Amino acid sequence: MKNSNKIILAILAAALYGISAPASKILLDYINPLFMAALLYIGAGTGMLIYHFASKAGTEKTKEASLTKKELPYLAAIILLDIIAPILMLLGLQKTTAGTASLLNNFEIAATSIIALVFFKEAIGKRQWVAMALIIAASAILTFSSGNEVHFSFGSLYILLACLSWGVENNCTRQISLKDPVQIVIIKGLGSGIGALIACAAWGEFTTDIFYIACALILGFVSYGLSILFYVFAQRSLGAVRTSIYYSIAPFIGVILSWIILRESISASFIAALFLMMIAAYMMASELHNHAHIHELQLHEHKHRHDDGHHDHVHEGNIEGYHSHEHQHEKMEHSHSHYPDEHHRHRH
């Protein structure tokens, strides 16, 4: 898939997640936040499980690489963080407006980027630094503007802690993003949902209204399941930092929907922040990262094809199109435009 298509997937992932704050704000009037967190992820996992079986019944065997024992530490961390983060987010959303919650989601970008830079040595170019600075500036305008309802409170603190948790989780997901994304979402969804359900049973209360339970499950499938699926696809090629920056439009979608549906206010500061965000998006879209680089000897497994310039190994018989198996990359040096995907995590 071309990088332009991956950018579209990152933006689509953001759009779907942007729905979650205003929709969750409505449902929180009827559902306890702990139970709500469980339902959102169970909806994501169950929906993707149904999709998985439906797609297997109608097509040939998946060409994606399956998860293995090597990925278990990352999966465990992802599930734990995805139990903690939505609970914190919904507790914060209960104490503040949907617009505030949406806008403070931008902190996830900074958290993801700093963790990717410090711990995983992901390269960040000049345009990415400028884009990130513009996004943080836009967030600051909205967060500290006296003409906006956004203010720091315990609700805001919960949301910032949720974003920090998701920042760590995004980088864990990056480490397994070459594996089957449907499997990843199923395990993330059901694992995190069941974990949150256990927490709810120990420290929460359940609702018996089937209608609102169904709404939460559907919201989970759309805003978490499909959003995560598209995010993982995008992250394969774009890397954690770039995907999170494109994903940053989600808060603005949430604010616009909060304004339309919940009649929450939208101010001049929002327009100013939106302008900065548009510039940031342009800086990202116009990035060209091109230099001579070395590919070290590498053995791994993932979905690939043989016309992408990086997979020239030989098969017995003729294999065309996408397929998955363990394969080795020989050491080589060349120059072309690239993103920090699995094959381009070299130092700069």
**Across 307-325, average pLDDT:** 59
Facing residues of 333 across strands? 294
Residue 338 has a pLDDT of 45
Q: How far, in Å, CA of 118 to CA of 304, rounded?
A: 29
Facing residues of 334 across strands? 293
Q: How far, in Å, CA of 68 to CA of 246, rounded?
A: 30
DSSP secondary structure letter of residue 297: P
**Across 70-84, average pLDDT:** 91
Q: Kindly indicate the confidence band of residue 344, based on its pLDDT and cuts at 50, 70 and 90.
A: very low
pTM of the model: 0.69
Let me know: does 33 contact 93? Beta carbons within 8 Å.
yes
Average pLDDT in the chain: 76
Q: How far, in Å, CA of 18 to CA of 149, rounded?
A: 19
Q: How far, in Å, CA of 195 to CA of 52, rounded?
A: 22
DSSP secondary structure letter of residue 300: E
Closest CA to 224 of 233, 213, 216, 236: 216
pLDDT in tens, 277-299: 778 767 766 665 555 556 566 66
